[in-house]
Structure 1
């Protein structure tokens, strides 16, 4: 890939990973419209590391406090709101981790098509709008509960289908459970830490076992661009969320789905 392609793809990944608009729906466009080559395993890995670093830095205080409370709960057997939240997020990660590990190859083989991405972009975008419109929006992330966390966790499994959007489907489920918009987004962002970490570990293992040549300069550029753009994306998303809700993202998903159907027809 050229440096320009690396920067564009890293920007797409960083800007769409945490927005409820589906990164896979955007990453497919350059290959369809511009006939760009597949970025490869190593590039996917560094993009994931970049976005993981972004959420760790942005929520460093929350994550540090939660990790401290979780470790304290292991030692004393006493639970605090932060330790409970940490446990809920860890449990909620298990469904996607297990099903993703077992079904990743099947998804890659049968569901990674342009039409599937177009349909899921549209359907789950409308579902997000419905959830936002009907939501009670009264709970914080600390009021999710174990049952609620597992519902969000199983919803995250649907994100294995390209075009669904991991953040989109988890925020949708959280809104349906009565969380506020900000709490739903925060829970989704915090959930991204273990799932992206596991996906990165899996890709790292595959990369070590492969014999791919490595463009280290390109990888560093990709990681840096995805890291910076993801931090900016999280910050701007939370601002938009408090002012306008999910409507801008729902409209965007509908228009993006229409574009995908048009270019694929």
Structure 2
């Protein structure tokens, strides 16, 4: 179903009610941090169930649920980088590991901040063509192909300690791809990190840590946009339910992914991306999904 506009912002989630948003929050939370596309699921699931499209504003705001899960799961890393970099600044220890990691994250975040500012007016606009299912399905197939190449040709032997500033920037540039609906942020950064020969679990860890500032900025910006749109109190309460459920499912997704990548390859995610891409494009061609 077509989106709902509130002062130019796609706010279809407001009409779905608590139960449906809780279910979509579960799906969004599980897929936001896995190397699959949460946007694809937020378009595919409502299409299959005959529900209203929750809209891009819901997907953007729900990133705060992912942020809560990342910070809580990687709290020791977040605390170490934050406090360690502050101590390094105080003592002028520019080569301290924590300070170098903090600089790498900041540098790698710059590309997506610039891209987000340049494209924000179109990305979350009502009825934007780049959020069509045909675009999302093609993006899923493309990401599946890139992740397959990373699995085939990369060695996966390095750790985060081997990363240089230029490596972080490469992953940061890849993160810009996540602005395109159908491209997973965790998938694009994980794939880029794998191309740099990082171990799979190390690539996932850096992907999550890198996501903290980008996800925080995107989520808070969307909350501000919703505030400016003066959505009703009931819409806010519906969104809160989605955020709570999404944060719990996001934590479960991180826990499962980290343990999976310690022992296995990313090939199941390649297969899933290809499958969901085919399902979406088949629906577009056979049933006229838009």
Bucket of the pairwise TM-score, normalised by the shorter protein = over 0.9
Partner of 1:204: 223
Partner of 1:226: 246
Alignment of 1:119-138 (within 5 A): 119-138=138-157
**Which of 109, 119, 122 is equivalent to 1:106?**
122
Q: Does 1:73 align with 2:93?
A: no
**Which of 22, 26, 32 is equivalent to 1:17?**
32
Partner of 1:241: 261
- Contact 1:42-1:214 within 8 A present in 2 as well: no
Q: Which runs of 5+ in 1 are unaligned?
A: none
Q: Which runs of 5+ in 2 are unaligned?
A: 1-15, 286-290
Partner of 1:115: 134
Alpha-carbon distance in structure 2 between the residues aligned to 1:51 and 1:247: 24
- What is the CA distance between 1:40 and its match in structure 2? 5.5
Alpha-carbon distance in structure 1 between the residues aligned to 2:61 and 2:134: 27
Question: Which has the higher mean CA deviation after the structures are superposed, 99-108 or 39-48?
Answer: 39-48
- Contact 1:15-1:230 within 8 A present in 2 as well: yes
- What is the CA distance between 1:45 and its match in structure 2? 5.8
- Contact 2:140-2:277 within 8 A present in 1 as well: yes
**Which of 163, 169, 178 is equivalent to 2:182?**
163
**Which of 54, 76, 81 is equivalent to 1:39?**
54
| SS state at 1:211 partner | coil
Partner of 1:63: 78
- Contact 1:31-1:37 within 8 A present in 2 as well: yes
Partner of 1:88: 104
- Contact 1:107-1:160 within 8 A present in 2 as well: yes
Alpha-carbon distance in structure 2 between the residues aligned to 1:24 and 1:44: 7
RMSD of aligned C-alpha atoms?
1.6
TM-score (norm 2): 0.87
TM-score (norm 1): 0.94
- Contact 1:92-1:154 within 8 A present in 2 as well: yes
Q: Does 1:258 align with 2:273?
A: no
